[in-house]
Amino acid sequence: MKKSVTTKKGDDGTTGLLDNSRVTKSDLRPEAYGTLDEAAAFIGLARAKSNLQMTQELLRTIQQHLYLLNAELACPVDCLHLLKMKLTKEHLGRLEEIAARLEEELNLPAKFVLYGQSEISACLDIARAVVRRAERHIVELNRAEKIANLTILPYINRLSDLLFLLARYEEFKNGIKYAHPYDDE
């Protein structure tokens, strides 16, 4: 018999963590991993809209990393041993290497950029903003109960930088000039 997506267990405003404990849906953990899930959805939209293979492959890899990260955030510290895979320094290092290569290739403006120069760059900028919100939730969670994996916060910080760079890379590769606020005035 097929298992249904609808369990009705959350009808009381709670959700299950990976150790089978239940917390309110507004608890710090669901706020953090729920916001990252939202970012992963925008990253998926950007991946679907990109016509660049490098972007598509990178965004798929990032989505895979976010699944690892979300599993860790959905698992109380004393149950992390239940996870088969976790986010590692190698995942972080990969982000840093790619960001450095993109930044080297781009002639980034010294000013702020205006978002929305293309549909794909706008999707990436939205994903970046959602990742920044997730970062704030993760920082709050870390203050309330220390996160065991010290790679998570640097990874999220680098990810938002990389998404910004990737948005500008998409504009660059598609021949779209950077726009700056108030350039028209």
> What is the per-residue pLDDT across 165-182, written as a single tens digit (0 to 9) for each?
999 999 999 999 888 887
pLDDT of residue 80: 78
Q: Which two structure tokens, joined as six digits, stand for 103?
A: 């930044």
Q: Tell me which DSSP letter residue 147 carries.
A: -
Do the bridges between strand 22-24 and strand 14-16 make them parallel or antiparallel, or are there none, so unpaired?
antiparallel
Q: Tell me which DSSP letter residue 115 carries.
A: S
With 60 as the cut, is the pLDDT of residue 185 above it? no
> Percent helix, strand and coil across the chain, each rounded to 5?
65, 5, 35
CATH-assigned architecture of domain 15-173: Up-down Bundle (1.20)
Instruction: Tally Cβ neighbours within 10 Å of residue 97.
Output: 10
Q: Tell me which DSSP letter residue 4 carries.
A: P
Indicate the pTM of the whole model.
0.89
Q: Side chain identity at 153, as an amino acid letter? A: L
Q: Side chain identity at 47, as an amino acid letter? A: R
- The larger pLDDT score, comparing residue 70 to residue 3, is at 70
Q: Which two structure tokens, joined as six digits, stand for 35?
A: 């916001």
Alpha carbons 43 and 148: distance in angstroms, whole number? 26
pLDDT band at 47 (very low <50, low <70, confident <90, very high): very high
What's the pLDDT tens digit per position in 153-162?
Answer: 999 999 999 9
Task: Compute CA 151 distance to the chain's CA centroid, rounded to the nearest angstrom.
Answer: 14
